[in-house]
Amino acid sequence: MKKVILAYSGGLDTSIILKWLLEKDYQVICFVADIGQQEDQQAVKEKALKIGAHKIYIEDLRQEFVDQFIFKALKANAIYEGKYYLGTALARPLIAKKQIEICQLENCSTVAHGATGKGNDQIRFELAYHTLMPGVEIISPWKDAEFLAQFKGRSDMIHYAQKMGIPITSTLQKPYSIDENLMHISFEGGVLENPEFAAPSDMFKHCIRPQDAPDKETEIAITFYQGVPIAVENFSTGEVIKESSVDLFTYLNKICGHHGIGRIDIVENRYVGMKSRGVYETPAGTVLWKAHLDLEGLVLDREVLHLKQMWMPKIAQLIYNGFWFSPEMDFLMSAIEKSQEHMEGRVFITLYKGNALITSRESAKSLYNQEIASMDVLGNYDQIDAKGFIKLNALRLKHFHSKKIKKEIHL
Amino acid sequence: MTLSITLEKIETTVVPQNLKVAVAFSGGLDSCLGIELLRRVYHASDIVAITVDVGQGDEEMHQVFHHAAALGITPLVIEAKKEFSDEWLTKAIRANSDYNGYPVSTSMTRQLVAKLVALKAKELNCQAILEGSTGKGNDQYRMHNVFKLFAPELDVLVPVRDFNLNRMEEQLLCQHWGIPISEQLVGGDDKTLWCRSIASGAIDLNQPIPDHVWMWRTPPIQAPETGEEVEIEFTSGIPVSLNNQKLPLDLLIAALNQLAGKHGIGLIDMFEDGIMELKSREIYEAPGAHVILKLHRDLEQQCLTKEEIQFKKGIDAKWAYLTYHGQWFSPLKEALDAFILKTQNMVNGSFKVRLYKGNIEILHRESSHSLFTPEIRSIKSTSFDQRWCNHAAKIKGLPFEILAKRQNKLQKGALS
């Protein structure tokens, strides 16, 4: 019997794919990745088995997701097109990796996923599959002519589900599609497809409207070590979260969302060549990225900081396009890791109505020298030195200008 | 691989029927076979063969008509030599056109051909365009982009892709149907004024290249024992005279191809990273381009500021990448052209060089826009008070003093 490992979410699409594969005489092993989506895993399991899955793996990948994926992106300050924190793009390679591990464990050579043929996720999944298991066979129903002929629209799917006794959950009525994990919730499609249309206010799950956020501010501090957060202190409540990175992240999601921080509404450029409108909630990510960037200002050497800044868009593009497992990503990340050696310290932040205001920062590895920079103290800096520095910088400019006056150079 | 299998493959493939089709006709194997397939398999209602002259030379244009006659067609010829040198090569020279060692040439002409064919096809109310790219190379992508920009409503037919044919199968079909072929090397030959590409995608790892394939180039070992001195003048980044004779760019490049080729200059034998991210070994012959690009870079180094030079390197690399990847007409590439053009006002000057057995040796430089100032820089001059440098060094060195402070502090911390 042909065997396949299906990346299963419990939603309508992957449930129908599960049934469709069974109809084609596959033995289907479902794999559910727990990456922090708030879902009843037991119900998902029962549903898969009821439809006819041979077996189901539910893997808690939250720790690996935070430590090996989110925090790596944080070290690089990776943001796609200046706005998107890559929440879904970071999760896909991890899901694919685990799915391939299960595939090998089960002595299987075929994997399936339910990403559509128009989006980025198909690319992120399939590039990772091919890289981690060369020769793997991939079933991607949304690119299969037979499947597409059978399911032309939403109504075909509902009809099929009813006929096959697949339970249809309430998510069906939602007029947009949702992807949730620890890093973010993304909304796209449906009513959001028109960028002129404002996102419905009842859509958001973590980040309340800044107008509805508390009138009282919350003071927190985030402690970093080697570029990653290791503790969060809430001075308003006295809470300290430091044992587990998953708890830390979850806690930040909660308090930052509560203060209305992290809503993002953008039009982005997909790898497949089209523009798409996406709305995201990234409360913890927004604040962590901001704090990390601030601490780098204090700790990193100027030249290292500037080079990192140049590479960042490339790293974000690689993650977005699905090249997490690639030689160029390894190459860039090794330099990023090196840059974070001394990245430790505390950043103090006030959360208030959609704002994360950095009020102060401290680090044992600071390169900031108060004595030299101060306007008051002379320090070890002779201001007369600046005269020579400027004179030499001006040599080139003076020469250029004199040529211009002599009309040898036309500007 | 027998003929009958190939014929069966062709007969069983479903392809569009009864269309009026414009053919980008080069006279090579693929476009000749394309004509025959249009008649026999696509059953085209009308065939319009279009040949674009981008400076492939008299011999090749002669061959176009010879092969066309054998196929019983009369190609419509569009003259584009002037457009190629004035609108394309000027931009390439100013951008130091270099895609990892390849001075991008076919990359440009394919897009120029595609634009002119698409516009003509629309004008003549064709319903599809056929082109003879190989299914493994770069040109299919370049031409597709341009077809879709200038004639988005027309179908694009690429026979090797449609029928999944390899070169052997194509040759069998040509023999079977009596189609003229005259390839020196399997893979063909793409000549342009700027650079000639030889047997693209067909050269094996250590396959030697026979001496008789060269059009311009004499291998250095056979080149004249006495070199030759040549004078070249640039205005706004473009070579405008050769040996004190003003020449239009196309004639100047043609003359340099002969001159520099004779002295063994112009071989490129490289691994190229294609659009499909596969490496291929590519052989090019580009004597004129070698000389012009070397001198253009040298002149920029003399006339542009340090910051312009550093920044322009990245811009040039991106320019070549976009051009190679079939994005000549993209908004980004056009924006880069504007930047590059702005920098070239200052790039004026002249050279005397010696061409000798593969070498281009610069003997003399002159530029009215030079930023070279020996009166300031030379260690022989007393142009400025060198004591200033003491201060400047202190300011430049400040970050290192601060790093040392952190290092000391951390070491003390580690000891205590």
Per residue in B152-200, pLDDT (tens digit) is: 999 999 999 999 998 889 999 999 999 987 766 666 678 899 999 998 7
pLDDT, position A182: 97
pLDDT, position B1: 57
pLDDT in 10s for each residue of chain A, 411 residues:
899 999 999 988 999 999 999 999 999 999 999 999 988 999 999 999 999 999 999 999 999 999 999 999 999 999 999 999 999 999 999 999 999 999 999 999 999 999 988 899 999 999 999 999 999 999 999 999 999 999 987 788 888 998 998 987 645 556 788 899 999 999 998 889 899 999 988 899 999 999 999 999 999 999 999 999 999 999 999 999 998 999 999 999 999 999 999 999 999 999 998 999 999 999 999 999 999 999 999 999 999 999 999 999 999 999 999 999 999 999 999 999 999 999 999 999 999 999 999 999 999 999 987 776 666 655 667 778 888 888 888 887 887 777 666 655 554
| DSSP single-letter state for residue B72 | T
Name which of A367, A391, A408 is nearest B406 (Cβ-Cβ).
Answer: A367
Name which of B391, B399, B405 is nearest A302 (Cβ-Cβ).
Answer: B399
| CB-CB neighbors (< 8 A) of A385 in chain B | 390-392, 394-395
Cβ of B391 within 8 Å of Cβ of A384? The answer is yes
Neighbour-count burial of B290, counting CB atoms closer than 10 A to its CB (0-12 exposed, 13-18 middle, 19+ buried): buried
**B405–A contact, CB cutoff 8 A:** yes
Active site residues of A: 13, 92, 121, 177
CA distance B270 to B194: 17
Strands across the sheet with B245-246, in order?
Answer: B245-246, B238-242, B228-235, B349-356, B359-366
| CB-CB neighbors (< 8 A) of A379 in chain B | none
> And the tokens for A195?
């960028």
**Distance of alpha carbon A43 from the chain centroid:** 27
Question: Closest-CA residue in chain B for A367?
Answer: B402
Strands across the sheet with A185-188, in order?
Answer: A177-180, A185-188, A275-281, A263-269
> And the tokens for B301?
């180094």
- Residue B39 binned pLDDT confidence (cut-offs 50, 70, 90): very high
Most B CBs within 10 Å, among A326, A392, A403, to test the B interface: A392
CA distance A34 to A40: 10
pLDDT, position A411: 45
Question: Closest-CA residue in chain B for A400?
Answer: B371
Name which of B346, B388, B402 is nearest A409 (Cβ-Cβ).
Answer: B346
Q: How many interchain CB pairs under 8 A, A with B?
A: 69
**A50–B contact, CB cutoff 8 A:** no
Cβ of B373 within 8 Å of Cβ of A399? The answer is yes
Cβ of A385 within 8 Å of Cβ of B388? The answer is no
B20: Cβ contacts below 8 Å, ≥ 6 apart: B44, B45, B46, B48, B124, B125, B126, B127, B128
pLDDT, position B241: 98
pLDDT, position A390: 85
Min Cα separation A292/chain B (Å): 20
CB B127 within 8 A of CB B157: no
CB A51 within 8 A of CB A18: yes
Min Cα separation B386/chain A (Å): 9
Cβ of A369 within 8 Å of Cβ of B402? The answer is yes
Cβ of B384 within 8 Å of Cβ of A389? The answer is no
- Please report the residues numbered 299 through 358 in chain A whose beta carbons come closer than 8 angstroms to any beta carbon of chain B: 301-302, 342
| CB-CB neighbors (< 8 A) of A366 in chain B | 406
**B4–A contact, CB cutoff 8 A:** no
CB A180 within 8 A of CB A187: no
**B391–A contact, CB cutoff 8 A:** yes
B22: Cβ contacts below 8 Å, ≥ 6 apart: B48, B50, B117, B120, B121, B124, B126, B128, B129, B130, B154
Most B CBs within 10 Å, among A389, A390, A404, A406, to test the B interface: A389
Least confident of A78-87, B253-262, B319-328, B401-410: B401-410
CA distance B67 to B51: 12
Min Cα separation A305/chain B (Å): 13
Q: How many CA atoms lie within 13 A of B226 on its CB side?
A: 2
Min Cα separation B250/chain A (Å): 28
CA distance B347 to B365: 13
User: At how many degrees (to 10) do helices A12-23 and A154-164 cross?
Assistant: 60
| DSSP single-letter state for residue A84 | B
Q: Count of CB atoms within 10 A of residue A136's CB?
A: 19
Min Cα separation A247/chain B (Å): 31
Min Cα separation A113/chain B (Å): 25
pLDDT, position B354: 97
Residue that is written with structure tokens 């899901």 in the block:
A95
| CB-CB neighbors (< 8 A) of B398 in chain A | 372, 381
| CB-CB neighbors (< 8 A) of A399 in chain B | 371, 373, 376
**B345–A contact, CB cutoff 8 A:** yes
Most A CBs within 10 Å, among B343, B394, B403, B408, to test the A interface: B394
Give the mean pLDDT of B393-400. Answer: 85
**A196–B contact, CB cutoff 8 A:** no
Min Cα separation B413/chain A (Å): 10
**A409–B contact, CB cutoff 8 A:** yes
Residue B151 has pLDDT above 80, yes or no: yes
Q: Give counts: helices (H), strands (E), chain A.
A: 14, 14
Question: Closest-CA residue in chain A for B405?
Answer: A367
Cβ of B376 within 8 Å of Cβ of A388? The answer is no
User: What 3 state SS string does B184-198 have?
Assistant: CCCCCEECCCCCEEE
CA distance A366 to A362: 7
Min Cα separation A410/chain B (Å): 7
Residue A378 pairs in a beta bridge with: none
**A240–B contact, CB cutoff 8 A:** no
Nearest 10 degrees: Cα torsion A81, A86, A92, A95: 160
| CB-CB neighbors (< 8 A) of B384 in chain A | 391-392, 395
- Please report the residues numbered 363 through 382 in chain B whose beta carbons come closer than 8 angstroms to any beta carbon of chain A: 368-369, 371, 373, 376
- Which residue type occupies A135? G
Question: Closest-CA residue in chain A for B387?
Answer: A388
